[in-house]
């Protein structure tokens, strides 16, 4: 089962457990109701935008070490293949120019 499917299933289970007493979310993003509490204020050493960044980073699903390794390998292999193709094309075009124009 994929990560997204697993998360969707967990959300559905949470909604079932909460039942009808849970309040519906606001239809417009960025709006808050009185139940959310007062708006947050930042301080001099930890401004609001920094708090927002940290809270968003906590929501990020970071790839596993194995995923990072696999994707790094793919990037290196593709880069080498494209480099070989471009290098070969450069050699061929260079040879063609020497044989036709420079003679």
pLDDT at residue 64, as a whole number: 96
pLDDT at residue 94, as a whole number: 95
Q: Enumerate the domain spans of the chain.
A: 68-103
For the chain, 103 residues long, give each residue's pLDDT as a single digit of tens.
688 888 888 888 888 888 766 555 555 555 544 455 566 676 777 889 999 999 999 999 989 999 999 999 999 999 999 999 999 999 999 999 999 987 7
Per the CB < 8 A criterion, the answer to whether 40 and 51 are in contact is yes
Q: What token pair was written down for 98?
A: 């020497």
- Cα separation, 41 vs 29, in Å, equals 19
Nearest to 35 by CA among 48, 47, 25: 25
Predicted TM-score (pTM) above 0.75? no
Q: What token pair was written down for 82?
A: 């494209």
- Cα separation, 10 vs 4, in Å, equals 10
């Amino acid at each position: 089962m994929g990560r997204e499917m697993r998360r969707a299933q967990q959300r559905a289970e949470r909604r079932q457990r909460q039942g009808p007493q849970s309040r519906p979310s606001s239809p417009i993003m960025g709006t808050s109701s009185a139940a959310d509490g007062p708006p947050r204020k930042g301080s001099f050493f930890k401004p609001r935008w920094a708090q927002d960044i940290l809270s968003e980073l906590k929501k990020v699903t970071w790839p596993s070490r194995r995923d990072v390794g696999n994707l790094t390998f793919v990037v290196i292999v593709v880069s080498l293949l494209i480099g070989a193709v471009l290098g070969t094309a450069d050699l061929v075009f260079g040879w063609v120019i020497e044989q036709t124009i420079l003679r």
